[in-house]
Amino acid sequence: MIDFLREYNNWIEAFHIIAVISWMAGLLYLPRLFVYHCQVKPGSEAYEKFKIMERKLLRGIMNPAMIAVFILGIILVMTTGYGAPGTGGGWLHVKIVLVLFMAGSHMMMSRYRKDFERNINTKTERFYRIFNEIPAVLMVFIVILVMVKPF
């Protein structure tokens, strides 16, 4: 099976990159929606519209993209051999940890969305503005690790 998948490695990598871009778009946009959501009155028409937008973004784009990132990433590790002892793949181990932190921020956003859905959000605009930077910073380090492979 691995040999079969190796033949399509370029396709797998392309779809992995597409999934990463889709996931990142959501990770960068959802906290911005939360910022704007904080600015409107609970129960208003705008407040309810933000709930719909956030749910569709998370469930329709972010969740499937994250799942694809993990599945395709695992396949790439298996087909390339990166990370195996003696391959100089220490960068991959660090990248995986950072991707897990990224997934953790995704899970936190999911929880925050549910708080808005239940009308029990306690976070401020400022909190979401700062939180919005976490995926961007993680992305910078992940891309550097992938492209430079420093160790």
Quote the pTM value: 0.94
Number of folded domains that form the chain: 1
Supply the pLDDT for residue 89: 80
- Residue 137 belongs to what domain range? 2-148
User: Is the separation of the CB atoms in 122 and 25 below 8 Å?
Assistant: no
pLDDT score for 121 = 97
Over the stretch 72-127, which tens digit does the pLDDT of each residue have?
Answer: 999 999 998 877 777 778 999 999 999 999 999 999 999 999 999 999 999 999 99
Predicted pLDDT of residue 11: 97
Q: Dump pLDDT digits (tens) for 22-42.
A: 999 999 999 999 999 999 999
Using one digit for the tens of pLDDT, what is the confidence trace for 43-81? 999 999 999 999 999 999 999 999 999 999 999 999 988
**Cβ atoms of 30 and 58 closer than 8 Å:** yes
Classify the phi-psi angles of 7: left when phi > 0, otherwise alpha if psi is within -120 to 50, otherwise beta. alpha
